[in-house]
Amino acid sequence: MNHSSHARDPSELIGRRLAPRTQCELVVDVKGGGDNWGHALLCDISASGFRIAHLSFAAVGNSLWLRIPGMEPFPAKIRWKGSSSVGCEFLYPLSREKEAEVIAAIARPASSWADMSEYEPPEAMCA
């Protein structure tokens, strides 16, 4: 897949996905170039990547970390930026086992997460 450095509209990628995506709306942690974690809304995820609602620091080509509640962080790169969301590709595609673990974590009710008191809904929403 050709990953150019310019921002692409997500609609250009329809039918060109590397893997099927699971739709969701889950508050996750993301970290860009700094040391601080912030919150974002995960819109969909697959073995090869994910889409999150708009990030203020997002720029195509930037690296970031995605942390799903209860899981270790995953390194990724921002591949496109649209008006309301950002598409990212995992640096290392998820194995089938890890993808199943991620989908199970997404499906877990928020009440089953250890401590949700630190999570506040991000301002952006999945479109």
Which phi and psi angles does 42 have, rounded to 5°? Answer: -80, 125
59 and 81 Cβ atoms separated by less than 8 Å? yes
Percent of the chain with pLDDT over 70: 71
27 and 121 Cβ atoms separated by less than 8 Å? yes
Domain boundaries, the chain: 24-110
pLDDT of residue 123: 58
pLDDT tens-digit profile, the chain (127 residues): 444 333 444 444 444 555 678 888 888 999 987 878 988 999 999 999 999 997 877 899 999 999 998 899 999 999 999 988 999 999 999 999 999 999 998 887 654 444 444 545 555 667 6
Is 24-110 CATH 3.40.50.11740? no
pLDDT of residue 126: 74
pTM, whole model, 2 decimals? Answer: 0.75
pLDDT of residue 118: 52
- pLDDT tens-place string over residues 45-62: 999 999 999 787 789 999
